[in-house]
Amino acid sequence: MKKASLKDIAESLGVSKALVSLVLNGKGDERGINKQTQEKVRKKAKELNYIPNQYARGLRIGRTNTIGVIVPDISNVFYGKLCKAIEQEAYAKGYNLIISNTYEDVQKEKKLISDLINRNIDGLILASSFDSKNEIDGLRQDKFPLVLVDRVFDDFEVDSVSVSNEDGARKAVEFLISKGVKRPVCFSLSPVYVSSISERIQGYMDALEDPNQAKLVQIPHEDIEGGVINALEELKNEEYDGVFCVNNNVAKALIRELSMQGESLESVKIISFDDIEVFDIVNPKISAIGQPINEIGKHAVNLLVDRLDNEKTHIPKKVVLDTVLVER
């Protein structure tokens, strides 16, 4: 849907674009604009769902050498390490960070983006929530400096850094099969339309000789522990001897629940996408697909800085990095 502009508001009210701009920028009283006219402008802006281009407003202020970083959950080991890698590279290039969490809440993400732009950040590195495609498209239309990490949208011309999720998942499942697993189950997160999740599911499917053997179990992202409990209950009467977990939070919840049920971790072979330290201390140890987190962070900062330094000539790039099988 086409975004409403200052011109649209002005034409619908029969006033000048300059007047509309003054009112919406809070300068109506200062310039002596009639209170009733101001109210009409604000009402029409709301009616047309006008969203101000905060970036254009920020251009008048100049650089702040501050980058915003928004992730779903910094307590997730992957995102915690990613923020550290971004911070180190940004600091080396003279930038400070403001880091925020969405907890997969698209409304919170929308507010955080607006708040950060109003604080005049120079650009944004975003690991989007599960349903924020419209927000990202709005930033793209406003030409706001943006780099997507981990979760990307192929139909947008936006800088992004991700890994080869499909290849990594395929390597994980092929590893399970090489260890004698006959019926690997995939513990996925819902919703599956998030790029990293859907690609990992595809990799799982590709690794199976017979796609009819696929067993996909959906774990709600808002209640991973409860979802794993339900999944194990669902699988009680089914034959399976291996589990591919789409990320470390799912794997941790599975390990914890099996232990609480008194099940030996040797009874089922587990492999996770994302490698974290705890996989090296459980017994038996858990193999995983490692992501080059430091490289993701470096690429994200470098893409954003290049965009800031070369606004007119910068061409959006999609960087896809390889994963590695960490066998234990």
Rounded Cα–Cα distance for residues 168 and 255 (Å): 21
Dihedrals φ, ψ of 149, to 5°? Answer: -125, 145
**What is the reported pTM?**
0.80
- Supply the pLDDT for residue 55: 58
Q: Looking at the predicted structure, is the pLDDT value of residue 32 above 90?
A: no
Rounded Cα–Cα distance for residues 126 and 237 (Å): 42
Average pLDDT over every residue of 196-217: 92
150 vs 106: which has the higher pLDDT = 150
Residue 200 shares a structural domain with residue 247: yes
Q: What percentage of the chain carries pLDDT values higher than 90?
A: 63
- Supply the pLDDT for residue 212: 85
Q: What is the CATH number of the domain that holds 33?
A: 1.10.260
- Supply the pLDDT for residue 308: 92
Q: Looking at the predicted structure, is the pLDDT value of residue 150 above 70?
A: yes
- Supply the pLDDT for residue 291: 97
- Other Cβ atoms closer than 10 A to 78: 23
Residue 169 shares a structural domain with residue 268: yes
Q: Which range has highest mean pLDDT (26-40, 116-130, 243-257)?
A: 243-257
Residue 94 shares a structural domain with residue 137: yes
Rounded Cα–Cα distance for residues 258 and 261 (Å): 5
Could you tell me if 249 and 76 are in contact, meaning their C-beta atoms sit under 8 angstroms apart? yes
pLDDT tens column, 182-197: 999 999 998 776 789 9
Q: Is residue 301 part of a domain?
A: yes
* pLDDT range class, residue 321, cuts 50, 70, 90: very high
Q: Is residue 241 part of a domain?
A: yes
* pLDDT range class, residue 138, cuts 50, 70, 90: confident
Residue 217 shares a structural domain with residue 299: no
Q: What percentage of the chain carries pLDDT values higher than 70?
A: 94
Instruction: Please give the tally of structural domains in the chain.
Output: 3
Angle at alpha carbon of residue 295, lines to 320 and 151, rounded to 5°: 45
Rounded Cα–Cα distance for residues 86 and 299 (Å): 9
- Supply the pLDDT for residue 300: 98
Average pLDDT over every residue of 42-64: 74
Rounded Cα–Cα distance for residues 181 and 282 (Å): 20
Average pLDDT over every residue of 220-244: 91
Rounded Cα–Cα distance for residues 246 and 125 (Å): 23
Q: Is residue 328 part of a domain?
A: no
* Domain carrying residue 46: 6-52
Closest CA to 247 of 82, 89, 84, 126: 82
Q: Is residue 325 part of a domain?
A: no
- Supply the pLDDT for residue 264: 76
pLDDT tens column, 233-289: 988 888 899 999 999 999 999 999 998 888 877 889 999 999 999 999 998 999 999
Q: Is residue 249 part of a domain?
A: yes
Residue 148 shares a structural domain with residue 199: no
- Supply the pLDDT for residue 49: 81
Burial class (CB in 10 A: 0-12, 13-18, 19+), 253: buried
Q: Which of 68-77, 109-118, 189-198, 292-301 has the lowest mean pLDDT?
A: 189-198
- Other Cβ atoms closer than 10 A to 321: 14
Residue 255 shares a structural domain with residue 235: yes
If you search the block for the tokens 């459980």, which residue do you land on?
282
Residue 89 shares a structural domain with residue 14: no
